[in-house]
Amino acid sequence: MNLITNVIQFFKDAYYELTKVAWLGKKEVLGTTIVVIIFVIIMSIFVSIVDFFLGTVVGIIL
C-alpha cells in the first residue's frame, strides 16, 4: 500500500512542477529548431569532409 501511495505522490509532485515551467512560445521554438537544423547540416558536412580526407590518407598508406 505504501508503494502505491508513493507513486501517486510522485505523479502529483511531477504535475505540480510542470505547472511552474515557463514553456517557450511558438516563435522561440521555431527559432531554436532552425538553429539546430543548421548546426546539424554544418556538422554533417564537416564530418563528411574529414572522413573523406582520412579515408584517402589511409588508402594511400595502405
Residue 1 has pLDDT above 80, yes or no: no
Helix ranges (DSSP H) in the chain: 2-19, 26-61
Q: How far from chain centre, in Å, is Cα 29? A: 13
Percentage above 70 pLDDT, the chain: 98
Per-residue pLDDT tens over the stretch 51-60: 999 999 999 9
> Per residue in 25-41, is it b (16+ CB within 10 Å) or e — as a string?
eeeeeeeeeeeeeeeee
**Whole-angstrom Cα Rg for the chain:** 24
| pLDDT mean across residues, the chain | 95
Q: What is the pTM of this model?
A: 0.63
